Each structure stands twice: as C-alpha cells, then as structure tokens.
Chain A
Amino acid sequence: MVTLKAQEIVVRLQARTLLHGASFTARRGESIAIIGPNGAGKSTLLKSLAGLLRPASGSAMYDGTSIASMTAASRASVIGYVPQHFNPHWDIRVADLMQISLERSRALVQREMLDTALRTHDIGPLRDRWWSTLSGGERNRVLLAMVLATEPPVLLADEPAANLDPRCKLEMVERLSAYGRTALSIVVMHDIDLAFRYFDRILLLNDGRVVADGATAAVYDAPILEDVFGVRFIRTEHGNVRTIHPGNVVSK
C-alpha cells in the first residue's frame, strides 16, 4: 500500500501564511498535477510533502506515518524529490551523479547496478559527459534519472520541464506521469494544457488552499479554473485530444 495523505497542512514563513490547511489523499497508481497561479503554494505544498519544510500545523503522512517524524534516511527511501532548480556545485560526470544517487539507498554500488540504472533511464550515452556540457533537456533527464534511480514509491516533482523545447518538454512530462502507473507521481505543473493532457487527477491550488481536486475530465470544464487564474480558457477537441489554453484576461 502506498498512500500519501496531506492533513490540514499549514505552512508559515515569518508573518506570511503560505498554506492554509491543505488536505488530500493520493494512492499508488495515480498521477497528479498540482496547478494554480504564482504564489498559490504549489511548491510549498510539494516541499512539505517531501519533508523539506516542517508544517506549522497539520501533517503529511506516508502510509499512516508522519513524514516529519521519519528519519531523513527512511524518508529519502520512500520519496523522490525533483527540485525546480538543480545545479551541482562542482562540475561532475553523469556516471558520478548516478553513483551518488544510488548510494542513498545502498552503501556499496556495484558497476552493474550503475550500468543498469543508466540504461533503464535512457542516459547510457551521457555516462561520461560532464554536467556543464549537457543541454537543458539532457540535464532534466539526468536529474529525473538520479531521483528515480532508487525507485522510490513516491515521486514529487517541481516543474522540471518549465524551460525546455516542446519535444523535450513532452518527453519529460510523459516520463513524469508514466511513473504514476506503477507508483505515485505528483507534479507541480505550470503548463496547464500538459497538466490536463498527461495526468489522471488535478489538484487546483489558490491562496494556499486546495480549491478543486478531481479527475482530470471533471476539472477540465469547471468554471473555477477561470476564477482562479483570472483568464478565459479556450478549450478545443481534436479527436480524443482535449486541449486548454489561456485566451484573454478576465477583469476581476
């Protein structure tokens, strides 16, 4: 059983409240996109689920255990977290990044394990490349491979595809949502259209609250999207592909 449960999570930063009691439950086999305007608390929610932020009240629970009370090592073994920005401090080879990533679950990493991990995540050809020589798309693929190297049951990703070209972006979003077929994948998405096309479930955040939570098809038509984002969306259907794009700004 893999269940991730957010119970009334409140996060404060000095005097500002970033999350006002966010709650939802997610299970294995789900791919969930978190969407919402800037400052809605998407990244904050993701970080408190990952145990990187301690909620002022409420809790994130993994299979009935509070994530805040878990040891750092056991938390890291169940939750894979993909940060929004990643840049190693020293220029480093891809193989070494994977080595370090594999070591978080086992002290000794054999050569075969490393080879398997590189192959599984399609980054075999990048093996001996230095980080500084990788393109944006390659960097994101390596980052995802690093996080997924230990096959964590939960993947939490913070818009890792934000500034990629269309092909890399589609490939990345496809990989992220596909992980939710066998595990649980929760991704903060800025591209609303891709969020609706690739994920099973949408979590809409506004002002630190979950204002809509449901199957993608149900949220797709909901007028609350217009209210929250303050834009009118253009929804079109081509065969069985439904797209949604911002049209014009709605005066509030």
Chain B
Amino acid sequence: MVRYWGTLALLLICAVLFGACAGHTWVTPADVLSAAMGDTSMQAMLLREWRLPRVVAALLVGALLGLGGAIFQGVFRNPLAEPYLLGSAGGAALGATIALLVPLSLSQSFALPLFAFLGAWGATLLVIGVARTAGALDVPTLLLSGVAISAVLGALRSFLMLALSDETVSLQVVLSWVLGGMQTPTWGGVGILAALTLVSLFACIALAPGLDRLGLGETMATAYGMDVHRFVMLAVLVAAATVAISVSVGGLVGFVGLAAPHIARWHLGPLHRVVIPASAAIGAILVTVADAIARSALPPAEIPLGLVTAVAGGPFFLLLLARSRKW
C-alpha cells in the first residue's frame, strides 16, 4: 500500500515534468527548473506564464475528474458510471456553446468557464429535480432522467450551433471545445482552481465511509443506519459540483473519470477511503500526460484533449483490463 502511494507520487512528478517540457518547442527539465526559480529570460517567462499554469490546470482537472468518477461509480455501483452521467456533459456543452456563439457583454475568457460550470451544475440539478417529481430518487430513475435530459440538452446545443453560426463565428471553435477544450488560466485562476480542487477532495473523502456502506447494497446500508436516498442526493451534488469545476477549465475530457477509479480499485481494493484519493492522483497523471501530448504531437496545432484521452486512453485501458485479474 505504502509502495503504491510512493509510485503514484513519483508518476505524478514525472508527469508534471513531462508536461512542462512538452510543447511545440520542447525544453529540458533544467530549463523548467530555472523558469520555476524565477529566471528572467524570454523562454523562462513564456514557460512560467503560459506552459506551467496550463500543466497545473491539467493536473487539477484530471484530479477533479478522478474524484467525480469515483463518486459516481460508488453511488451508482456501476462500473460504467462516469462523471458526465447525469447531464453535466450536455449542460456544460450547451453553456459553452452559448458563451462561444451568443454575443454577450462578458469577455469570453470569463463567460466560457462560468457558463460551462452553470450548464454542468444546472443540468445535474435538473436531472435530480426531474427524478424527484418522476417518483423516486433511486438509481434507475436518476440514470434514466440523466439520459433524457442529456438528449434534450444535446438537441438544444445542435440547434444553437445551426442557428447562430455564420461566417464570423466558426463552428470549429465550439466543436474543439466539446472535444476537450483545455483553457490556459492565469496563476490567479490556477490558485482558485487549486483551492476548489482541495475542497472537492475533502468533500469526496468525507463521503467515503458512506460509499463503502452503500457498496454492501441498499438493504444492508439501510440496516446499517444509513438514509440511502439522502446520502445519494448529497453524493451526487458533491460529484456534480466537482465535475462542473473541471468542465469550466478543462472542457469535456472523456474517459479519464471512467478509467481512473478502476485503475485505483485494481491495485487497492474497493474501499473508497483509498480509492477516492488514488483515483484523484491517477486522473491527475492521465490528464497531465494527455494534455502534454495534445500540445506537442502536431505542432504548431493543438489536438483537442478529449481526443487524446480517448485515442490513447482506450487501448491503454483495455490492456490494463486484460492484465488485471481483479476488477
């Protein structure tokens, strides 16, 4: 167990270093170090103001996705559950489309994360509200409401894209955001993101004992003194906020939130008190590396991050799946 945490920490450091070195111009680890120490050369300034905040943001987005995925899989007790399950992807994409296509008096760098966050968070609240009026807050009702709301939101977004795009606004902008539009924040933005990630981490870890109980089944969890519906509601709200924060900076990055909790579980067993932090670390490693590839594989262009995570992550996950005996 201790060795596993050590390995994760080492991998995380390597991933950050790799991310800092990678880009359309590659630099050496020594350059990164001198930039971090406050060197005033042009290259160091560029690294410090552009690349390093992006690397840290990618790391934090990955951690948030790992957390969201672990909570959703724990709540729905379904290995296919992923962070965008309850409409947050559709909501975020709709919000981002509005921010990108509708002329607003807000600056886009401010409107985009804000609208993506509101879309993701609002969609999940809508799903919960619909599930509640439809009868019960049980797992199947929530999942089906999520599917229905996602379909409606997706259609709305398609309509907006058709109706609002003209020669001046390119659909490509919207499309590339939907495929994983990682933003490069300022250090101030990174600071806020880091603080929110930390809050999410603690909130998720606080849910761990409840998720472990829920893993025994609803009957046992109830017999063990748990108000299952209330807990599910609380956990979904925490996870949805976590995912909405990640979406506001990282756009839609598929696959990481699905894979990270599984990788954690294969090595550490199913207890959420270890799966949740491990999943955050694994998500951070995956997105940091994927973002480095996205920035450096086809210079000077950038590949949308979501494409990298799917193309590179899919086969990698299958390989791990084939090799793991425990699931």
Name the CB-closest residue of B to A100.
Answer: B212
- CB of B210, distance to nearest CB on chain A (Å): 10
- CB of B1, distance to nearest CB on chain A (Å): 12
Name the CB-closest residue of A to B219.
Answer: A83
In the bound complex, CA of A92 to CA of B326 (Å): 10
Asked if B129 lies at the interface with its beta carbon under 8 angstroms from chain A, I say no
Asked if B222 lies at the interface with its beta carbon under 8 angstroms from chain A, I say yes
Asked if A215 lies at the interface with its beta carbon under 8 angstroms from chain B, I say no
Complex contact A76–B270 (CB within 8 A): no
Complex contact B216–A100 (CB within 8 A): yes
Complex contact A87–B223 (CB within 8 A): no
Q: Which of A71, A72, A73, A93 is in CB contact (< 8 Å) with B269?
A: A93
Complex contact B223–A100 (CB within 8 A): no
The answer to whether A91 and B227 touch (CB under 8 A), given A83-B220, A86-B216, A96-B269, is no
Complex contact B225–A90 (CB within 8 A): no
Complex contact A92–B224 (CB within 8 A): no
In the bound complex, CA of A99 to CA of B270 (Å): 13
- CB of A73, distance to nearest CB on chain B (Å): 4
In the bound complex, CA of A79 to CA of B216 (Å): 17
Complex contact A88–B217 (CB within 8 A): yes
Complex contact B217–A90 (CB within 8 A): no
Asked if A16 lies at the interface with its beta carbon under 8 angstroms from chain B, I say no
- CB of B170, distance to nearest CB on chain A (Å): 45
Asked if B271 lies at the interface with its beta carbon under 8 angstroms from chain A, I say yes
Q: Which of A50, A71, A93, A97 is in CB contact (< 8 Å) with B223?
A: A50
The answer to whether A91 and B77 touch (CB under 8 A), given A72-B222, A77-B225, is no
Residues of A within 8 A of B326 (CB): 91, 130
Complex contact A72–B265 (CB within 8 A): no
Q: How many residues of A contact B (CB 8 A)?
A: 30
In the bound complex, CA of A89 to CA of B80 (Å): 13
The answer to whether A72 and B327 touch (CB under 8 A), given A89-B77, A100-B212, A100-B216, is no
Asked if B154 lies at the interface with its beta carbon under 8 angstroms from chain A, I say no
> B223-245, CB under 8 A of A: which get 1 and which 0?
11111000000000000000000
Residues of A within 8 A of B51 (CB): none
Name B281-327 residues within 8 Å CB distance of A: 326-327
Complex contact B222–A52 (CB within 8 A): yes
Complex contact B215–A88 (CB within 8 A): yes
Asked if A103 lies at the interface with its beta carbon under 8 angstroms from chain B, I say yes
Name A39-93 residues within 8 Å CB distance of B: 50, 52, 71-77, 79-81, 83, 86-93
Complex contact B270–A91 (CB within 8 A): yes
Residues of B within 8 A of A81 (CB): 219, 223
Asked if A101 lies at the interface with its beta carbon under 8 angstroms from chain B, I say yes
Name the CB-closest residue of A to B275.
Answer: A90
> B56-96, CB under 8 A of A: which get 1 and which 0?
00000000000000000000010000000000000000000
- Additional A-B contact list (7), CB under 8 Å, known A90-B270, A103-B213: A71-B225, A73-B225, A75-B225, A92-B271, A93-B269, A97-B216, A104-B224
Q: List 5 A-B contacts (CB under 8 A).
A: A83-B217, A92-B269, A92-B270, A100-B213, A100-B216
6 shortest interchain CB distances as A-B pairs: A76-B225, A90-B270, A81-B223, A89-B77, A73-B225, A104-B224
